[in-house]
């Protein structure tokens, strides 16, 4: 992950990225539990389930580039299959794509697993 991002944004940008991840997950949760999507088709149910999994990965910030790209493709699939609201699917596709390009931020599991480490070398006695 460190090769994908130069830094894991901290401070206000990190908080903004966390809010973006939380917004994506809350929209997905509202759509999943609110019954907004047309779940009469198997494709709609499958897309909603896959989107929920990708949304949970984004919420905690685990495998953010992969989860964001997957969610973006799923939302484009929902958009073209006409099983949900096209505006919500379009916005979620754009938000998840930008999140996969920007990175997870410092408040994420990715930052804890793949962030920069501080290494101290012991000083040899002379």
User: Taking the model in full, what pTM does it have?
Assistant: 0.77
Is pLDDT at 13 greater than 80 in this prediction?
A: yes
Scanning the structure block, which residue is given the tokens 């990225």?
Answer: 17
Query: What pLDDT digit, counting tens, does each position of 74-91 carry?
Result: 999 888 887 767 898 899
DSSP class per residue in 31-80? HHHHT-S--SSHHHHHHHHHHHHHHHHHHHTSSHHHHHHHHHHHHHHHHH
| Rounded-to-integer distance, Cα 123 and Cα 52, Å | 50
pLDDT mean over 40-62: 83
């Amino acid at each position: 992950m460190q090769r994908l991002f130069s830094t894991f944004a901290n401070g206000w940008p990190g908080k903004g990225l966390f809010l973006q991840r939380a917004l994506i997950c809350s929209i997905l949760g509202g759509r999943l539990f609110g019954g907004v999507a047309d779940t009469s088709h198997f494709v709609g149910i499958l897309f909603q389930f896959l989107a929920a999994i990708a949304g949970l990965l984004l919420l905690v910030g685990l495998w953010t580039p992969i989860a964001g790209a997957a969610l973006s493709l799923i939302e484009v699939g929902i958009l073209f299959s006409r099983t949900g609201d096209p505006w919500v699917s379009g916005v979620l596709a754009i938000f998840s794509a930008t999140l996969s390009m920007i990175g997870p931020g410092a408040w994420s599991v990715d930052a804890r697993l793949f962030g920069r480490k501080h290494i101290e070398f012991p000083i040899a006695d002379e």
